[in-house]
Structure formats: structure tokens, C-alpha cells
């Protein structure tokens, strides 16, 4: 049972969560059509799920993972599914924070990290890494078409010097339906074009390694990830983006994520992020 709970939360992420029953009793009805605020009633993370997420990366002596109540997990999954129907791209997730960030001095919004749960969880594992002008805009479970839709609001509108794009895992898992390698590439091409058109430097990250997806039994993505990364590396060179090769640092010889660097074979743990960060720091140290 606990493995099922852990897998569900790691796979789906903790960006939006809440008690469906409580929301039905207290939250206003979701808006419909063209409105001033489309984000009224968006579900919020519950205390039990937040404690669980923090405990995953707690390295203090004697720290243990704190399992969340099963009822909160099920309510979270229902709430997330309903929210995705209303806000497929996740535009509501960072809408309020974007207004605050855009008003900050330029030094406090130097680089935006666009991605999925591997990006989102990074600031939970190592919050200090997201200081000094680094802004996390990861949303768990997202695919490249969803990121493309919110790229203007979550990246361009913040006017950063640079963007770090890490994507592809959930496309290969089929999180928003079947796709093609060309579709993934087109979405990444479009995000890079938006960045460059607005004078934003691009750091294009490799898709991290994975030998399997626990939420998609039967898929063996290792070779597809290598194929995608070969294209990412070549495209970055072609358009003047900086390619960051996390895959080489995290992968086993057969293309899986090293067991000691992940709790589930897809998401990095503290040690996994510690392996990634020197690669990132070397690249972004060149920002002026």
C-alpha cells in the first residue's frame, strides 16, 4: 500500500492537491468562460502531503519519510484530474507568484527553470539552489505541449536573462496521450524560438535517464531518451543554446537512472540533484 502511495505522489507530483470533499463544501464554484480570474477554486496542497514531500528530501539525522494519509492521496488524485480539465496547461499554478516575481529587480529573476516534476522537486530537495535570482517553474507530470502553452506567462513575461528547459520524460510516458518524437522536438523548438525572440539565453538540458516508468508498465524508454538527447544536443549547437548533459552523469551503462540517485528510477533524490548541480552552476556562472 505504501509503495502505491509513494509512487502515485512521485509520479503525479505535488503541485496541486487538496481534499475534494472539503473543497466541495468551502470553495467557490469554478469560473466558466471569459473571466477576470480563471484560477478561483484551484485546489491547494494539504498539510499531510506537504509533510510527505518535505520528508522525502530531509537529510537531518534520524529523519524518516512521513507517509501521507491515504485519503489525502486519493483526494489529491481526484482534485488534480479535475483541475487539469479546467486548466490543462497549468496556467493557474504560478499566476499569482508571476505577478510578484515580475515586479522584482532584474537581479532577482535572472534565470527561470521550466520543466516537470524533476524541476519542481529540485527546489524542495535543495531550496538554496533556487536563490540568487533562480525561479522554479516546474509542474509535475507535464509534457512539452503544456509547457509551450504556459511559456509566455511563466518565462517570457518574467523577463529573465536565461531559461533552463528540461523536458521530455512525460511525453515519452504518454502523460497527455500518444505523441511522436517530431512533436516533442517541435514543442522544444517553439519554446526556444520564443526565448530567443525575447532576448532570453537558453540552457537546454538533456532528458534525464530512466529504464522504465512505474506508472506506464511495459514502456522501456531508455533508448528513446538517448535518441531525444542526441537531437537536443545537436539542436542546441545549431541554434546557439547551451546543452547541459545531466544524462551522462546520472545514467547506468544501459540508460537507467542510477539506483543510488533516485527513489523510483525516474526522479532524482538529494544525491541525484547534487550530481546535477555542478553542471548547472558551471553553465549559469557565465551569465552576466
9-33 pLDDT per residue, tens: 454 454 433 333 334 334 567 788 8
Q: pTM to 2 decimals?
A: 0.89
Angle between helices 95-102 and 144-154 (to 10 degrees): 40
Sorted by sequence, the CB contacts under 8 Å of residue 271 that are 6+ apart come out as 260, 261
Cβ proximity of 195 and 155 under 8 Å: yes
CA distances to 85, 184, 206, 219 from 228, in Å: 29, 9, 8, 16
Q: Give the chain's domains with CATH numbers.
A: 47-86 (no CATH), 94-285 (3.40.50.1110)
* Distance, CA of 156 to CA of 242 (rounded, Å): 18
Query: Average pLDDT for residues 248-277, to the nearest whole number?
Result: 97
User: What is the reported pLDDT for 10?
Assistant: 55
Residue 36 CB coordination number (10 Å): 6
The pLDDT confidence band at residue 72, using thresholds 50, 70 and 90, is confident
In the DSSP assignment, the letter for residue 27 is S
Nearest to 237 by CA among 170, 192, 176: 192
Computed over every residue of the chain, the mean pLDDT equals 89
Cβ proximity of 152 and 194 under 8 Å: yes
Amino acid at each position: 500500500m505504501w509503495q502505491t502511495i509513494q509512487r502515485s505522489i512521485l509520479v503525479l507530483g505535488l503541485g496541486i492537491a487538496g481534499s475534494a470533499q472539503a473543497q466541495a463544501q468551502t470553495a467557490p464554484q469554478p469560473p466558466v468562460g471569459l473571466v477576470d480570474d480563471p484560477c478561483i477554486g484551484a485546489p491547494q496542497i494539504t498539510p499531510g502531503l506537504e509533510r510527505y514531500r518535505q520528508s522525502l528530501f530531509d537529510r537531518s539525522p534520524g529523519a524518516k519519510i512521513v507517509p501521507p494519509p491515504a485519503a489525502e492521496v486519493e483526494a489529491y488524485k481526484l482534485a488534480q484530474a479535475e483541475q487539469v480539465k479546467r486548466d490543462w496547461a497549468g496556467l493557474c499554478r504560478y499566476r499569482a507568484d508571476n505577478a510578484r516575481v515580475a515586479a522584482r529587480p532584474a537581479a532577482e529573476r535572472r534565470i527561470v527553470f521550466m520543466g516537470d516534476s524533476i524541476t519542481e522537486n529540485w527546489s524542495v530537495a535543495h531550496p538554496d539552489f533556487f536563490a540568487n535570482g533562480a525561479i522554479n517553474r516546474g509542474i509535475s507530470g507535464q509534457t512539452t505541449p503544456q509547457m509551450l502553452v504556459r511559456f509566455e506567462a511563466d518565462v517570457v513575461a518574467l523577463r529573465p536573462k536565461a531559461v533552463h528547459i528540461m523536458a521530455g520524460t512525460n511525453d515519452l510516458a504518454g502523460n497527455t496521450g500518444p505523441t511522436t518524437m517530431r512533436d516533442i522536438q517541435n514543442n522544444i523548438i517553439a519554446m526556444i524560438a520564443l526565448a530567443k525572440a525575447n532576448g532570453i539565453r537558453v540552457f537546454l538540458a538533456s532528458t534525464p535517464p530512466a529504464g522504465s516508468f512505474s506508472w506506464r508498465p511495459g514502456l522501456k524508454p531508455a533508448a528513446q531518451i538517448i535518441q531525444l538527447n542526441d537531437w537536443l544536443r545537436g539542436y542546441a549547437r545549431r541554434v546557439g543554446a547551451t546543452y547541459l548533459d545531466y544524462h551522462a552523469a546520472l545514467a547506468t551503462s544501459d540508460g537507467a537512472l542510477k539506483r543510488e540517485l533516485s527513489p523510483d528510477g525516474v526522479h532524482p533524490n538529494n544525491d541525484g540533484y547534487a550530481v546535477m548541480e555542478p553542471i548547472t552552476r558551471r553553465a549559469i556562472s557565465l551569465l552576466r
